[in-house]
Structure 1
């Protein structure tokens, strides 16, 4: 939550086409980027979610909102029944001037969505059904957007999943050694640099035109899927990072958060083990929705994404550690180092099982008759 002078909710809400119960406003959710508030409708349903967009992270909020509006409109046009579209796609509330956001006198950007009742999200997946439904949600999301031109969207965070840029930042942090930490982490540095060339493959295949640029979510952790009370997927949320990318990024990032039995910052590396049944369930759900539009090279790239995303996260954590922990919040001095080691261990475990993971993907892609 932002710290500073209180927000003038009367003024903010007066700019939107709603009748709000002012007394109902309360902080909502556990997001780390934007500030979110629940707002009750003073007349009837729907209720609302009001958000202050973090314009430090997202430098071009008008461009970001154009992205979101374009994506939402396209998704709703593809869903046959309007009542289903209201449940399965986020709905923006326009301001009285017709815009999708309001900028206050302090330079804060505000937007509003319909609140989706009777839904839930999970930070951790515990069942194969949840994994399968998450796979279906992200697969359908990509599928419905597969005929929308990626060139219409801006990069809301430039180079967000560009491993080439992340490696350049990493090498610069090693070279500068601003906090004198390099000598203590030479084995970790070697581990990452030894794999650097292979991790450029998705980017290189894209530049060669072998992998098509798609509209992707780019933040496919599982709590960005809303499920209904029976754990059936309903809606993909958090559209701020929806922009051009490669499908393997979404697949790999989702698997990174699903397959690991340990925590992202697990100190006991023996606990970093693979949950293959959850991988298989997610893959089945994802390909059941996405196989009709994916190309052969894209399917082959999925396992590369599974290796790339934890590797990239390890690079980012170690880079931040070498730079003095300036990006990620840390609870103790070596927290970013611990995070990086846990992600490197995940990469090691995935490398050992890469053939088995690829076989699961191929079995779902071309099931035996």
Structure 2
């Protein structure tokens, strides 16, 4: 990659004259290779797309094209840095067996966690505004970027399959976790019930705090980023993922079990931000479903972490053998806290 052998073709496809000296690695993303292009006239983001994680780049390209064409961007107080078409009008450029894309650079700050509940409020408001700005677009137009990504029934069945085929010995801590997560079947039933009642919407589907660019002084959101997961979903998906990743007293990797619970101030700030946008826009049932979102998104990650441990840690990157087990245990404590909060 250091030779940028693909650069001459990239320049030709976009009508640019980028030199290797204008390109440097950028950010700490784990999926795509990301570079900052900095010339005298412009700053751009260049990505070499990871089609091992996202196996259907054509779906993502189509989803982005719909968004570029139809979203009411004038209603958004921030930027959506969607890909810039090449000279052929395509959002991806295929060079040397790899997909590349260029998008606008947005200045500001990304953070992986927050202490201030006001930032939680700003984050929730930003993601709710994204749903609102695309609420007029028929959700059926969007393709699944990652099939079954937020399907709780599917993830429960995958856990059952992993349990059936595991080579792990079911005792102690592992036995306790398996029994706990098998006991969450009522959430699967609630998920299936909500599917019957709720309309599908355009959702971001990966509403982590580091998928926002804040202003340097953290007074506002400058951009919503990482739009590869956008697809048809339920409003509570986006609220729930925020709850799981923002409103926990400890990070996902914490093993301070007694400290893991719901941060009520952040939870209430998330709810305030989402409702400020959603009241009068989302249906009454969508509003009522929000509290289920935190339960469901925490449970689904617990299912996935535990299933991966049972299968021998084949999906998530680990730094020690029991890490996925401990991630599942972390989510168990958060889920217990959320059940107490919303009962």
Does the pair score TM above 0.5? yes
Alignment counterpart, residue 115 of structure 1, candidates 93, 102, 105: 105
CA distance in 2, matches of 1:204, 1:8: 50
CA distance in 1 between partners of 2:224 and 2:256 (Å): 33
Partner of 2:124: 135
For the 8 Å contact 1:214–1:247, the answer to whether it is kept is yes
Counterpart check, 1:287 vs 2:285: no
Matched, 1:180 2:168: yes
User: Unaligned stretches of 5+ in structure 2?
Assistant: none
**Partner SS state of residue 343, structure 1:** helix
Q: Which residue is 2:331 aligned to?
A: 343
Q: Which residue of 2 aligns with 1:31?
A: 29
After TM superposition, the structure 1 = structure 2 runs for residues 278-317 of structure 1, keeping only pairs within 5 Å, are 278-317=266-305
Q: For residue 38 of structure 2, what is the aligned residue in structure 1?
A: 40
Q: Per the alignment, do residues 4 and 24 of structure 1 end up closer, same or farther by CA in structure 2, a change over 3 Å counting? A: closer
Q: Which residue of structure 2 lines up, in the alignment, with residue 151 of structure 1?
A: 140
**TM-fit CA distance, 1:125:** 1.1
Q: Deviations over 1:160-211 (max 9, x none)?
A: 010111111100111111x3243442221111111123233133321x2x11
Q: 1:164/1:7 Cα in 2 relative to 1: closer, same or farther (>3 Å)? A: farther
Describe the SS at the equivalent of 1:229.
coil
Calculate the TM-score normalised by the size of structure 2: 0.94
The aligned residue for residue 229 of structure 1 is 216
1:100 to 2:91 alignment: yes
For 2:201, the equivalent position in structure 1 comes to: 214
Partner of 1:73: 69
Pairing 1:160–2:158 present: no
Shift of the alpha carbon at 1:342?
A: 0.4
- Whether the 8 Å CA contact 2:187–2:296 is kept in 1: the answer is no
Q: How does 1:348-359 map to 2 (within 5 A)?
A: 348-355=336-343
Given the two structures, how large is their TM-score scaled by the length of structure 1?
Answer: 0.88
Give how far 1:13 is off. 3.4
| Contact 1:217/1:242, CA 8 A, preserved across alignment | yes
The aligned residue for residue 57 of structure 1 is 53
Give the CA deviation at 1:21: 4.0
* Separation (CA, whole Å) in 2 of partners of 1:322 and 1:7: 42
Aligned counterparts of 1:247 and 1:68: Cα–Cα separation in 2: 19
Structure 2 distance, partners of 1:19, 1:221, is: 35
Distance 1:150 1:175 in 2: 36
Name structure 1 gaps, 5 residues minimum: 356-369
Q: Residue 6 of structure 1: CA displacement?
A: 6.0
Q: Number of paired residues?
A: 341
Going from structure 1 to structure 2, the CA distance change for 1:16 and 1:90 (only over 3 Å counts) comes to same
Q: Deviations over 1:45-84 (max 9, x none)?
A: 3x11011111112122122111012113323x4406xxx8
- Once the two structures are superposed, residues 247-291 of structure 1 have per-residue CA deviations (whole angstroms, 9 ceiling, x without a partner) of 111100011111111120211201212211111112111211122
- Alpha-carbon distance in 2 for matches of 1:7, 1:195: 51
* Change over 3 Å in CA distance of 1:273–1:205 after alignment to 2: closer
Please state whether the residue corresponding to 2:106 is helix, strand or coil: coil
Measured after TM superposition, the shift of residue 320 of structure 1 is: 0.2
Q: 1:22 to 1:6 in 2, by over 3 A?
A: closer
Q: Is 1:136–1:233's contact at 8 Å kept on the other side of the alignment?
A: no
CA RMSD in angstroms, aligned pairs only: 1.9
